[in-house]
A = this chain, B = another copy of it.
Amino acid sequence: MKATDHLYAVLLAGGKGTRFWPLSRSEHPKQLLKLFSDKTLLEETYDRITPLVPEDRIYIATVEQLAARIRTTSFHRLAEENIILEPIPRNTAPCIAVAAKKILKKDPDAIIAVLPSDHFVKDTNTFLEVMEAAAHYAAKGRIVTLGLQPITPETGYGYIRFGDFIGDTESVNQKYRARAIQAFVEKPDVQTAKSYLEDTRYLWNSGIFVFRADTMLEQVKEHLPDLATCVNELENINPKDSKAIKKCWEAMPSISIDYGVMEKAQGLLVIPSSFGWSDVGTWNALGAFPNDASDNFTHGDVIAIDTANSVLYCDEGLLVTLGMENVVVVSTNRVVMVCPTDRTQEVRRIIDELKARNKGEYS
């Protein structure tokens, strides 16, 4: 039996995300943006995993207000069964626990890959190979995280410090041997991030992890017993009784799987690898994936004259830059935003300013 024969995928697609303003709005969270192709990041995430996981084993977890949009815009064929609906946002731990419970009922040997749906992956082949290795370790009852070798001193990422090689390696691609996780490290300051670049024991935490459904539910029971109780109760509610379902979700603790489970669980593994990954946290992140000869990332009808190291995004009309460097220009939704590449994390200030000026319609 191959581990991947029981591999399921849960795509986390409930997030809001305002860091891609003016493209992202409350109705257009990042996972529904088309940043790299004519597909949304969610669609790209879905397509990426299909060589390994058949469609009936792919689940999309999302909030009620997005579910209809996701279905009508691109996932017409998705079965009702394959949507994990969060009646109210409760962060990631509850929806992962609910998904694990649901999938376990279907397949007692189920292995689940949790995939954020708003990330970028350049090298799909390597990603799939790593996934396969992770499923192998997960089948043995381990929780396995994917860690990326840092390329830049990112202060927006969480890091993982790894230890020795661990676990059974027999049937695993030797390139992707797992290591013990020594610690999850909070987002560092610039100095610390630079030191992590030199110290080879640190990896970017991709937020992608793989586990057996029953393993995860045991961990939830141990570290988040209230959540485990709610998840069991949910089982017994009539699926049509949306009021009772909502009440049950309201009782769940709002907590991330990272804080709630991962940082407390024992024996976690990480597979270090490199597959051109980014969490695409801000506009600036797109600059890491230039697509012209002057190291610009351009999207849409853009003419960049004497322009370098810039992110130029246009989905309305035409954008022309002349003699610019290290700048982000976004033209979309009747809004133009211009700022230096190293200040894209301040986009939130703009949204605050919009509200202060009664221009909330643009936020």
**A interface with B by C-beta (< 8 Å):** 22, 301, 303, 305, 314, 316-324, 327, 329, 331, 333-340, 343, 346-347, 349-350, 353-354, 357, 359, 362
**Bound CA span A327–B325, Å:** 11
Q: Is the CB of B349 within 8 A of A338?
A: no
**Bound CA span A329–B312, Å:** 14
Which residues of chain B are within 8 angstroms of A320 by Cβ–Cβ distance? 22, 335-338, 350, 353
**Bound CA span A345–B323, Å:** 12
Whether A317 contacts B334 in the complex (CB less than 8 A), given A305-B349, A357-B303, comes out as yes
- Give the 8 A-B residue pairs with the shortest CB-CB distance, closest first: A317-B334, A322-B339, A323-B343, A321-B338, A331-B336, A319-B336, A318-B335, A320-B337
Which residues of chain B are within 8 angstroms of A317 by Cβ–Cβ distance? 333-336
Which residues of chain B are within 8 angstroms of A359 by Cβ–Cβ distance? 301, 303, 318
From A321, A338, A346, A359, name the one whose CB has the most chain B CB atoms within 10 angstroms. Answer: A338
Which residue of B324, B331, B333, B350 contacts A331 across the interface (Cβ within 8 Å)?
Answer: B331
Q: Is the CB of A340 within 8 A of B324?
A: yes
- By beta carbon, the residue of chain B nearest A302 is B336
Which residues of chain B are within 8 angstroms of A338 by Cβ–Cβ distance? 319-322, 324, 327, 329, 338
Which residue of B322, B335, B349 contacts A322 across the interface (Cβ within 8 Å)?
Answer: B349
**Bound CA span A41–B254, Å:** 59
Which residues of chain B are within 8 angstroms of A22 by Cβ–Cβ distance? 318, 320
Q: Provide a sorted-by-A list of 8 A–B residue pairs whose CB atoms are within 8 angstroms.
A: A22-B318, A303-B353, A303-B357, A305-B350, A319-B336, A320-B335, A320-B353, A322-B339
- The distance from the CB of A336 to the nearest CB of chain B, in whole angstroms, is 5
**Bound CA span A38–B322, Å:** 28
**Bound CA span A353–B347, Å:** 32
Q: Is the CB of B314 within 8 A of A336?
A: yes
- The distance from the CB of A324 to the nearest CB of chain B, in whole angstroms, is 6
From A22, A303, A321, A329, name the one whose CB has the most chain B CB atoms within 10 angstroms. Answer: A303
- The distance from the CB of A218 to the nearest CB of chain B, in whole angstroms, is 48
Which residues of chain B are within 8 angstroms of A362 by Cβ–Cβ distance? 318
From A327, A329, A336, A362, name the one whose CB has the most chain B CB atoms within 10 angstroms. Answer: A336
- The distance from the CB of A234 to the nearest CB of chain B, in whole angstroms, is 43
Whether A336 contacts B329 in the complex (CB less than 8 A), given A22-B320, A318-B362, A353-B305, comes out as yes
Which residues of chain B are within 8 angstroms of A324 by Cβ–Cβ distance? 327, 338-340
From A327, A331, A357, name the one whose CB has the most chain B CB atoms within 10 angstroms. Answer: A331
**Bound CA span A354–B314, Å:** 16
